[in-house]
Structure 1
Amino acid sequence: MVGFDPSRAAEELSQFAADLEQKVQRYEELQGQMAMTSVSASSAGGRVSVTVDSTGVPTAIGLGPGTRSMDPDALSAEILSCMRKAQAKMRSEVADVVHRVVGEDAAGASILDILAERFPDVESEPAGEHVPPQPTYAPAPPSSAPSTQSTWEPPAPGTFSRKPDRNQIVTPDEPDDDDEYFSKKSWLE
């Protein structure tokens, strides 16, 4: 080969190995910092808070005393809203960590693209807007009109009675092939 310099090739290979080792160290550091990253978001009034890790998985959900009387659907919606806010904040935090640790790198950009696709930005509530109190469960007021819906009430103690045919054994009129086969067998066989 014309112009092939074995010492130059060895130098380039050594430099490539050193660059690769530095990249491995940066990504190990990135992995460690991402593992320590968690972000929380709270609802208006702080009734609900959700914490997510760097992958967007909820690691903690906090419910304030005001949630006890909330409608379950409204509570669920508030939890999901907080989770989405936390995930969007987490995406921003991870982007800062990626840029700080690995810089502008194709693999780092790929991580950020995946997070942007999985956790899009959420529209935030306008400043000062307060979430109205949610409806609470309360027993229906008694009405004098007859109810069209039947309600079950447990019987008074000691009023249970057995059905008259409770001890009757019901068998088919004619035995089938399985009955004849198993009638000649013991359950120990």
Structure 2
Amino acid sequence: MLSLYRPGDGILHRMPAGPKTVLVLALVLAVSLLPSSWWAAAVAATVTVAVYALAGLRDGMLGMRELGRQIAALKWVLALTIVSQLIFLGPEPAVANGTRVAAAVVLAALLVLTTPVTALLDAVERGLRPLERVRIDPQRVALVLTVTLTTVPVLARLAAQVRDAQRARGSRGSLRAFAVPFLVLASKHAFELGDALSARGVR
């Protein structure tokens, strides 16, 4: 399974996987529930910058370089979100909702950037163990949640690779020229992930 984990000694790296998962998901939920207003957009952006600065990602810029990479990888999603809402809802909701979406995704990415996949899987499985009483397999649920969390930043990285390849060839920023290779790479990742899970006996 692909992992985006980056070794470090920051606050998030030192936190146990369980409490860290709860903290990050609480931040994502809090950002997602903010209203569609200018001040909410400012709060979401400020929280995101502060958390990345404290994460200890060792990128030489207090996490801002990594934050920039994560946001750049989301630019097509953000462009679609903002433009569509700008047409139907107006500038304030469009900017606020786009900021909230970006903040939620890049904050969730911090979980897999600062936690090895095995530690994350073990933490989620422990947290879901009480569900065994109602005949829910915590291992399967933990695997699904972990794969979901790790797939978002992986797809963001694939999008960044496609854009870098286009720039290297001098290609223009066409949506079609981006979408086709991105979908091919995403499909390849999905098949490889499926094969890896099948090899581990997951059906």
Q: Return the TM-score normalized by structure 2.
A: 0.25
More relative contact order, 1 or 2 (CA 8 Å, 6+ apart): 2
Highest Rg: 1 or 2?
1
Q: Return the TM-score normalized by structure 1.
A: 0.26
Q: Which has the higher helix share?
A: 2
Q: Which has the higher strand share?
A: 1
